[in-house]
Amino acid sequence: MSAFSDVRRAEVAARAGHRCEYCHLPTRGQVATFPIDHISPRSAGGTNELSNLALTCPHCNAQKWTAAEGTDPETKERVPLFNPRCDEWDQHFEWAVDPPGELAGLTGTGRATVAILCMNAIEMVALRRLLAEVGLFPELR
């Protein structure tokens, strides 16, 4: 049983544009239900308020778990992970041209989020490429 009502789940999904708010994987064409993530983990005092919820693909959700910060692989500094409620996605990430389907972190927050969430795992990059080929991942052109 979900901790969220169908109404709340629909609200979170619509606000997210029906895609993972971290890696932008679309819900369309996926078999699994996308979990709702607590941006600030409940174990750290995060609430079920809409402002603390994000739609995530199963992969990003499993990798993030209760993390709220990570280490920037470039500077080795501890930084907050990407927060879809207050950070602009395009300021922290961009799609790599080569190899296609990979995400590049533009900031410490972006780089740490890519690393912690394993956003460039081989299977996720392959899935993005496949979805792009059939027109379900328009961000990859």
Q: Which domain holds residue 62?
A: 6-133
Structural domain includes residue 1: no
Q: Give the number of domains in the chain.
A: 1
Token pair 């990798």 is found at 63
Digit-coded pLDDT (tens) for 54-113? 999 999 999 999 999 999 999 999 999 999 999 999 999 999 988 899 999 999 999 999
Average pLDDT, the chain: 95
Evaluate if pTM is beyond 0.85: yes
Q: Residue 37 corresponds to which tokens in the numbers above?
A: 């993530």
Structural domain includes residue 140: no
User: Can you name the residues that pair with 37 across neighbouring β-strands?
Assistant: 54
